[in-house]
Amino acid sequence: MRHGTLRQASVSFGLKRSVPISPIHRHRYSSSQTVNNVIFSGIQPTGIPHIGNYLGALRQWVQTQTKAEPSTAVIFSIVDLHAITVQQDAIQLRQQKRETLASLLAIGLDPERVTIFHQSAVSGTTHVPVGHDQLQHLEFVRESARNFNARYGDFFPEPEAITSSGKRIMSLKDPSLKMSKSHKAARSRILLNDSPEEIKLKVKAALTDSFEGISYDPIARPGISNLLEMMASVDVHGRSVEQIASDCKTLGKLSFKQQVAEVLSGALADVREKFEYLLRLDDGNYIDHVAAQGAKQAEQIAGRTIKEVKSMIGLE
């Protein structure tokens, strides 16, 4: 496994040579197949993701799981080692790791099809945070691969970034800022497990403007436009943001916000229900089981790579 730890970005590795499928991966691949590519991404364990995380990156993870070729290994990590670059409360971090994993499963990631693991549970990883605005770090990984290959032979592939095509969802309290858990106001974001009432209250309190009617103009009307972007991202009819704005143009802000809340609540209903179910499943042990299995799978791949590297440089 060629490692790069990412924050809501993905990286694709075209392997220099095919890697045989080990028995532990036969839940997704047949014993006769080999891995020619690896798609890897990670998310920090901040607990339950917000709708910006989901629409901006996590929904793409589910699409990647579905579209990946049989010879592509899809691996997702909860990067808890990256999280401790700032001080963390141990009890809270453990809980947030469970909530993050439960959320990934609730949105549709299937541990029978992809590998999901906690970063700290797997030795031999390189910790390189790469986000949408941090692609320069990926170049460092490429350079490291080039340097190793030049000295020891063609072994490490150069990773390529897969950036999300999802819309950038902004804060409900300040639409000039990206939606984030670091914002001190809890009503600045909609969490994936928020109840319909919580979503209604947050949308109702969202900062908009004093103009009449509803129109899409991210520069002049960032608050209204942000709500329209969220609606369009989950619209069951596939309408564009401009079409939705046209359909809502005569609405007052209160009626419009009520409609937004209903649409978002409906879109998150299955995720919310599944999240709560997964945390209770098997007396709470199911999440731990998935984490352990994922770590075992990732450790096996990483261990094989580290062993080959040590052999090439003379450590074994």
Residue 142: pLDDT band (50, 70, 90) is confident
Backbone φ and ψ for 50, nearest 5 degrees, come out as -100, 175
The DSSP H or E segment spanning 172 is none
Task: Provide the 8-state DSSP code for 312.
Answer: H
Q: How confident is the model at residue 26 (pLDDT cuts 50, 70, 90)?
A: very low
What end-to-end distance do the CA atoms of the chain give, in Å?
19
The amino acid at residue 246 is: S
Q: How many CB atoms lie within 10 A of CB 82?
A: 21
The reported pLDDT for the residue numbered 40 is: 87
The closest alpha carbon to 74, from 137, 107, 29, belongs to: 29
* Of the candidate ranges 33-47, 85-99, 283-297, the one whose mean pLDDT is the lowest: 33-47
The pair of structure tokens assigned to 125 is 């990883």
300 SS3 class: helix
Characterize the bridge pairing of strands 115-118 and 72-78: parallel
Sign of the CA dihedral with 244 first, then 249, 255, and 257 last: positive
Amino acid identity for residue 301 in this structure: I
**pTM, entire model:** 0.82
d(CA 79, CA 129): 9
The Cα–Cα gap between 130 and 58 comes to: 15
| Main-chain dihedrals φ then ψ at residue 59, nearest 5 degrees | -65, -35
User: What integer is the mean pLDDT of 59-71?
Assistant: 91
* pLDDT attached to residue 27: 44
**Between 22 and 73, where is the model more confident?**
73
